[in-house]
Amino acid sequence: MGQLEDMAMFVRIVDAGSITKAAEQLDIAKSAVSRRLKDLEERLGSQLMSRTTRNSKLTKIGEQYYRRANTILTEVEALNEQTSGAPTRIEGTLKMTAPLSFGLMHLSNVIDAYAHQHPDLNFELDFSDRHVDLVEEGYELAIRIRELQDSSYQAKRLALIRYVLCASPEYLKKMGTPQTLDELKEHQFLQYGLNKSTHLTLRDAQGKKHSLTLNSKIKATNGEFLVDMAVKGHGIAFLPTFITYQTIAHGDLVPILEHYQLPTLNAYAVYPKNRFLSQRCRLLIDFIAQRLGDRPYWDEP
């Protein structure tokens, strides 16, 4: 192995948080990773990491080497991509995570089209609502639908996520269609998440904010399950339109209180900061953004 490979191995160890996790991400033996680190330190004549039986941490020299190594590796990858003289072949493995419902409902066609464009590219896709530490678990890219607060990540906005209050025609016929927020409080509510209560903030036609707390009959951590419960007449749901759009189009759910403005979120492509973003990731991010945008297909009339 050359010096650049050993340098990349060292950066992987630091990013992963340990030799063990780096070995798991690379699918090689822990002893091989440890040996490579030791060889690098011997070549440099300096200890980069102080290691004990319980943990390891960067030495002062190791911190400096890590920063410079990251810069050098980023420049080498960028240089290789820019000087090939021909369109770069997209290959390797793209490891990505996305929310469960969004991934299953809306990424299948995207990945299908992208995979056909780049037949040498492999994918590892984790569709899950759990929080994934991209660096620690070795992911290049995540799609997240939330307010972003972690400054250790970079993000590109992909789409506007709109919400809707909706219920089945049968439920509204039986319980009445709420016309005001006070009437809404009297209805059975289907809550996404397991918090004790749901706080909802809406704006009226004049832009005035109204906050209310709703009592939930059913709580669940999956939006598709709540759509099914709403269709079966168990109450009113507050869900993103990317989950409800088909049932609304078919008339199985009916939007209510449409004269109020509901909260919105954004879908982002998220990736580690200060890390070279591979061309396979950059192109996929642009590909998704072009397909979705501020008026994604599920919000078309």
pLDDT in tens, 271-297: 987 666 788 899 999 999 999 988 899
132 or 54, which is more confident?
Answer: 132
Would you list the domain boundaries of the chain?
3-82, 92-160+265-299, 163-255
Topology given in CATH for the domain delimited by 92-160+265-299: D-Maltodextrin-Binding Protein; domain 2 (3.40.190)
Query: Given this chain, do its domains 3-82 and 163-255 carry the same CATH topology?
Result: no
129 or 15, which is more confident?
Answer: 129
Range 18-24 average pLDDT: 84
> pLDDT band for position 88 (50/70/90)?
low
Backbone torsions φ then ψ of 194, nearest 5 degrees: -110, 20
Range 42-52 average pLDDT: 86
Range 47-59 average pLDDT: 79
pLDDT in tens, 155-165: 999 999 999 99
pLDDT value of position 85: 52
**For residue 167, what are the β-bridge partners?**
254
Cα-based angle 296, 300, 301 (whole degrees, multiple of 5): 170
Q: What is the mean pLDDT of the chain?
A: 88
pLDDT value of position 210: 94
Q: Residue 238: which of 143, 130, 128, 162 has the closest Cα?
A: 162
pTM tops 0.85, yes or no: no
The DSSP element (H or E) to which 117 belongs, if any, is: helix 108-117
pLDDT value of position 83: 62
Distance between CA atoms of residues 289 and 156, nearest Å: 9
Token pair listed for 213: 């707390």
pLDDT value of position 152: 75
Range 214-232 average pLDDT: 94
pLDDT value of position 264: 93
Distance between CA atoms of residues 15 and 180, nearest Å: 52
Class of domain 3-82: mainly alpha
Class of domain 163-255: alpha beta
